[in-house]
Amino acid sequence: MAFASASPATLSPPRLIPGTGRWPVLLSVPHAGRIYPDWLVRLSRRGKDSLFPLEDPLVDRLVWRAQALGIACVVADAPRAGIDCNRAEDELDPAVVSLPPGMGHDGWRVRAGLGLIPGRLGQAGELWRRRIGPAELEARLDSAWRPYHRLIAEQLATLQRAHAEVLLLDCHSMPWRAGQAELVLGDRHGASAGAFVSELARREAEAAGFRTAANDPYAGGHIVASHGKPAAGVHALQLEFDRRCYLDSAGKAPGPGFDRSARLIADIARAIGEALLDRHATPLAAE
């Protein structure tokens, strides 16, 4: 379907916060972007406020203690409403992106309106005034999505040149639901990280008093699925925090549990980093 369209507009590129390289760990924060360009707001049906619920609020600030250890972090500044860095390039909803007949993705995330370009959200319903065209999609991919994954791949490769095994910690948050865990550890049911990695994270979390779950309801998205290759020495683990653990009652500012949650991310990064270093430490020669 053809339609009139303005020249493609771009999204903010991701940021790399460098680390020291001491730890074989990299942080990823794909859903905390807050730079909403005017063209994106104008394209929305109900304005910027209708797009905020897609964010993982302030997770880019929640990782500060881990960063203070010298761990590098890749952060998306583009909002998830513009493009979701935790989805595959082909997770496209034909109701959101103008595609040739028969093209599109039938995955459950797309059916739920949460594909590469989110299209629907809860009670807000349809997010956009019109479908976007192929050139607009390419502009978003080239400005935000592809650089994000390129940075992750480059940083992991750099770390692996210094360390035999490395870890990607992909950091997220989730809305509160009755009965759910406070922290969900997602390793794609063992496909994106070694069992010892997830077990160490669980122990750290439970020692800090967090209720945990493994892969339910979040097993990990495209980031851990595409970058996690445990057989090649690259482990990828998704951390999904209940927002009540670190935000205030309005869900918009740091709450009383903010530092506790920040400390846990750092403790998980340190514990797994130490374990990976120990697994490949050169034993001292016998006297």
Under the banding of pLDDT at 50, 70 and 90, the label for residue 5 is: very low
pLDDT digits (tens, 9 = 90+) for 139-187: 999 999 999 999 999 999 999 999 999 999 999 999 998 889 999 999 9
Q: Are 91 and 70 in contact (CB under 8 A)?
A: no
Specify the pLDDT at position 8. 67
DSSP string, 142-193: IIIIHHHHHHHHHHHHHHHHH-SSEEEEEEEEE---TT--SEEEESTTTTSS
Q: State the chain's mean pLDDT as an integer.
A: 93
Q: Which of 33-47, 114-128, 131-145, 242-256 has the lowest mean pLDDT?
A: 114-128
Tokens for 275, please give them: 């374990």
Parallel, antiparallel or unpaired: strands 166-174 and 234-242: parallel
Query: Over pLDDT 90: what percentage of the chain?
Result: 86
Judged by average pLDDT, the poorest of 1-5, 23-27, 127-131, 270-274 is 1-5
pLDDT for the residue numbered 6? 43
Domain 15-88+141-279: state its class: alpha beta
Give the span between the Cα atoms of 180 and 140, in whole angstroms.
34
User: Is residue 35 scored above 80 in pLDDT?
Assistant: yes
Distance CA 204, CA 169 (A): 14
Model confidence at 108: pLDDT above 90? no
